[in-house]
Each structure stands twice: as C-alpha cells, then as structure tokens.
C-alpha cells in the first residue's frame, strides 16, 4: 500500500504561491488536503480544493464555506471553546486515519502563540510515529530524534534548536561548524546559524530531540 500523505493548510501567513503549492503536492505525492479553518480561504484563493475543512470555523469566510460545501467538500465543525487548537484537531484526524506523513503550510507568521504551538505540534506528531514537516518559502522545519541527512543542500543555513532540556552526543558533519559528540542545551544557542558546505551533511544525536530549520539563502 502506498504511503498516505496529507497537506495541512493552516491559518498563518501563506508565502507560497499557487504553483509552489501544487509543486509541493506533486513532488511529495500528497494525496489528501486538509484546510484548517481559515486555511480554506487560502486554498480557495489558490484554486485548490481540499478534501476536508476542519476546525471551529470562526476564521473561514462565509463565501468560502458555502463555495466548498457546494463542491461536496467534507466539513467537520467543532465548538469554539475547546481544549485543542484547530491545528491539533487536524493532526489528530491524520493520526486517526493512520497517515504516514504530514506537511504543514501557513503554520508560521500571524499570532505568535499559534506559531509556537504549531512548532510544538511537530513533537506531538513525532511522538505518534508520524513524520511531519513545516514548509514555508525557502524554509523547512522538522524534528530530529536520531539522525537526519541533508543532500544537495550546499549553502543552506541550518539551525538546530533543542526541544529537550539536554540533547546528548550531537554530531554534525558537512557544515561550516561541525560537532563530534557534544551536548546541546535548550537554554543555550550553540546550534543556531550553521551553514551546510558539503553535498551531503548529517546531524545525529544519542538522546533527546532537535528542531531543525533549513533555509535556502538568497
């Protein structure tokens, strides 16, 4: 059975244009699109139909909701007062459907509390054995819990942010600033603003987790 992959369109700032979104869907063989509340407006503007709209629907415009309802798009409405963000509801839906990987766009920008919550969702997703990435223009963000290779990413900026109090025995190869079995700490900034210098770079760790931010420099 082929991997089941979902694109979650959140309600932050969307800096990808229609062509870039379609290329993301095509190149990653994404077969399910979920609009998270106001993310439906962004998809409508990009002329892309979701398979599902989910959330408390306090951000989606009436016109967009009616438009997609007429298209037969499934809509799952939740109460405004709840214990989860709409983004977490969408993630839980993916977990219930036993998907293999999720890509999140429009996850950054907008409200700082929502942005930080979306970044923290990567750890929640990973803890449920589901792969996940946040994608923005020239930016990729994901979690490392063991090792990660970066191929053909020369001259990309690579930053590592500890998600656990201590990340043990971190090694970095193929970058301007390499490491060999060093600990990184959540309250320190040692992993910020590295540069990939080789055709293949690798980050590995023994215990803990790191958030990586990979940015294509102009």
Nearest to 76 by CA among 84, 67, 65: 65
What is the reported pLDDT for 162? 98
Tens digits of residue pLDDT in 72-115: 999 999 999 999 999 999 999 999 998 999 999 999 998 999 99
What is the reported pLDDT for 2? 67
- Coil, strand or helix at 117: helix
Give the angle 74-7-70 at the CA atoms, nearest 5°. Answer: 25
Domain residues of the chain, as ranges? 5-137, 144-216
d(C-alpha 134, C-alpha 112), whole Å: 16
Residue 40 CB-half CA count within 13 A: 30
Tens digits of residue pLDDT in 34-59: 999 999 999 999 999 999 999 999 99
Dihedral sign computed on CA atoms, order 103, 127, 157, 192: positive
Please answer whether residues 69 and 99 qualify as being in contact, where contact means their C-beta atoms are separated by less than 8 angstroms.
no
Name the fold adopted by 5-137: Rossmann fold (3.40.50)
Name the fold adopted by 144-216: Jelly Rolls (2.60.120)
pTM here is 0.94
Computed over every residue of the chain, the mean pLDDT equals 96
> What are the tokens at 123?
């750890």
Please answer whether residues 200 and 149 qualify as being in contact, where contact means their C-beta atoms are separated by less than 8 angstroms.
yes
Please answer whether residues 191 and 178 qualify as being in contact, where contact means their C-beta atoms are separated by less than 8 angstroms.
no
């Amino acid at each position: 059975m082929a991997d089941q992959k979902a694109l979650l369109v959140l309600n932050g700032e969307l800096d990808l244009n229609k062509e870039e979104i379609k290329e993301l869907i095509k190149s990653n063989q994404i077969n399910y699109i979920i609009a998270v509340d106001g993310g439906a407006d962004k998809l409508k503007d990009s002329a892309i139909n979701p398979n599902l709209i989910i959330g408390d629907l306090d951000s989606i415009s009436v016109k967009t909701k009616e438009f997609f309802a007429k298209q037969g798009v499934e809509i799952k409405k939740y109460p405004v007062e709840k214990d989860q963000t709409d983004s977490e509801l969408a993630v839980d839906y993916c977990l219930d459907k036993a998907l293999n990987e999720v890509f999140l766009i429009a996850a950054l920008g907008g409200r700082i509390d929502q942005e930080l919550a979306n970044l923290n969702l990567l750890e929640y997703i990973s803890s449920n054995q589901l792969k996940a990435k946040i994608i923005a223009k020239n930016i990729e963000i994901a979690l490392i819990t063991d090792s990660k290779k970066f191929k053909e990413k020369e001259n990309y900026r690579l930053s590592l942010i500890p998600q656990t109090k201590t990340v043990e025995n971190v090694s970095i190869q193929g970058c301007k600033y390499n490491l060999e079995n060093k600990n990184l700490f959540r309250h320190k900034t040692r992993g910020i603003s590295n540069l990939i210098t080789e055709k293949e770079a690798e980050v590995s760790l023994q215990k803990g987790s790191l958030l990586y931010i990979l940015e294509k420099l102009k």
